[in-house]
Amino acid sequence: MRLNFRVMSVFTVLIITAISGCSSSKDVPQNENSAITETPSAIPEPTVTFTPEVVINSEAPCLGMPAPTAWNHVVVLMFENHHSFIGSPDMPYITKLASLCGTAPIWKDADYRVDGSVDGKYNSKPSYATLTNGLSPTDHGLIDDQYHTKTDVESIFDQILQAGKTFKVYYEGEAGGCSVLFSGAYHDPVRYYNSLAPVCDEHDVPLQDFTSDLNSGALPDFSMIIPSNDHNMHNNTLKEGDTWAQEFLKPILDSESYRQGDLALFFLWDEDSPVPNVLIAPSIVPGSIITSPDENPISHFSALRTWDELLGLSLLGDTQYAPSLLGFYNGVRP
């Protein structure tokens, strides 16, 4: 059963009426000039008690509400990090969203192994791969941004299919699946894995499908959003990316699917440690800041570990050694 955080207003009306009885004749003198009168007790005005409605929406997306009994949806929005940062005057919406929900100010990309040691110096694709398979680039083999390079390692997408769950990668491009190129197509991680080639088109869908899936209650268990380079802060300015993020996220946070309380939202960037991030769910304590030691940093490994935990999957790759964000999503104050 989904947990619904909408609390309806309660109206309690109490009306108390007391009417005194007549006195007996032996107590009241009886004669033709006397009258027996009744004086009813005062009837109080109705008392109305209002319990304010708890409203979860884009203005108050994180309220520290009780966590759901099960997390049914994980949604990941990916942006490109070119020295963007939470608190930038060019990112007012994203900065406000982080303050309304939570963030980890020191987040490591795929340049760093799970223990905080340096694995290498990489661009985008290696980080998208680490996010989805839990291995460092030297282990999964995707060390550059070449579009056609692939790997045989297991991914979270394989895990989801094996568990009988559902996923979609929503890319900002034309319909057609994994053969469709768009600006930044090398960021689409479902295309990296040889094991997924037979089913890739089925799970790689245009971004416009996300809105219809959201509004119809048909979101898969795991969704990854891949905007084009024109919108993800790769080719556009921070301010333009901030505006795009607001236009995309606001309908999610105002949706009935989000108000159900079982949707965990991750807004992540791919690289340039410390990597910006905003962590969002109704159960998150507003204004939470998460920290970790340098030798066990919050990182892309932490994100994947938490997705596995939220979806009830086994821990993939090296994620078992990374700090988990599950408690944070379950309403624990850092």
Number of domains in the chain: 1
Long-range residue pairs from 53-56, CB within 8 A, at least 24 positions apart, any chain: 53/6, 53/7, 53/8, 53/9, 54/5, 54/6, 54/7, 55/6, 56/5, 56/6, 56/253, 56/258, 56/259, 56/261, 56/282
Give the span between the Cα atoms of 50 and 53, in whole angstroms: 9
280 pLDDT more than 70: yes
- Is 15 part of a structural domain of the chain? no
- Is 26 part of a structural domain of the chain? no
- Is 111 part of a structural domain of the chain? yes
82 pLDDT more than 80: no
272 pLDDT more than 80: yes
The domain containing residue 191 runs over which residues?
A: 73-329
- Is 134 part of a structural domain of the chain? yes
Q: How big is the chain by its Cα radius of gyration, in Å? A: 28
Q: On the CB side of 69, how many CA atoms lie within 13 Å of its CA?
A: 4
Q: pLDDT, tens digit, for every residue of 154-187? A: 999 999 999 999 999 999 999 999 999 999 999 9
* pLDDT at 110 (0 to 100): 98
Q: pLDDT, tens digit, for every residue of 284-307? A: 999 999 999 889 999 999 999 999
- Is 196 part of a structural domain of the chain? yes
- Is 2 part of a structural domain of the chain? no
| Strands (DSSP E) found in the chain | 73-79, 102-103, 107-108, 167-171, 204-206, 222-226, 263-269, 277-280, 288-289, 298-299
CATH of the domain at 304: 3.40.720.10
Give the span between the Cα atoms of 309 and 306, in whole angstroms: 5
End-to-end CA distance of the chain: 28
Share of the chain above pLDDT 90, in %: 80
**What single letter denotes the amino acid at residue 327?**
G
Sorted by sequence, the CB contacts under 8 Å of residue 20 that are 6+ apart come out as 38, 39, 40, 41
* pLDDT at 45 (0 to 100): 52
Give the span between the Cα atoms of 212 and 209, in whole angstroms: 5
* pLDDT at 51 (0 to 100): 44
pLDDT averaged over every residue in the chain:
88
Contact 289, 86 (CB under 8 A): no
Give the span between the Cα atoms of 31 and 38, in whole angstroms: 17
Q: pLDDT, tens digit, for every residue of 196-227? A: 999 999 999 999 999 999 999 999 999 999 99
Longest dimension (CA), the chain: 113
* pLDDT at 24 (0 to 100): 38
- What is the residue whose two structure tokens read 């990597």? 275
Sorted by sequence, the CB contacts under 8 Å of residue 23 that are 6+ apart come out as 36
What per-residue string of b and e applies to 214-247 under the rule 16 or more CB within 10 Å gives b? beeeebbbbbbbbbbbebbbbebebeebbbbbee
Quote helix, strand, coil % in the chain, to nearest 5.
Answer: 30, 15, 55
Per-residue pLDDT, averaged over 32-46, amounts to: 42
- Is 12 part of a structural domain of the chain? no
* pLDDT at 79 (0 to 100): 98
Residue 83 banded pLDDT, cuts 50, 70, 90: confident
CA distances from 334 to 91, 114, 327 (A): 25, 21, 9
- Is 90 part of a structural domain of the chain? yes
Cβ count near 105 (within 10 Å): 16
Per-residue pLDDT, averaged over 93-99, amounts to: 98
Per-residue pLDDT, averaged over 238-252, amounts to: 98
Apex CA 295: angle with CA 289 and CA 301, to 5°?
Answer: 70
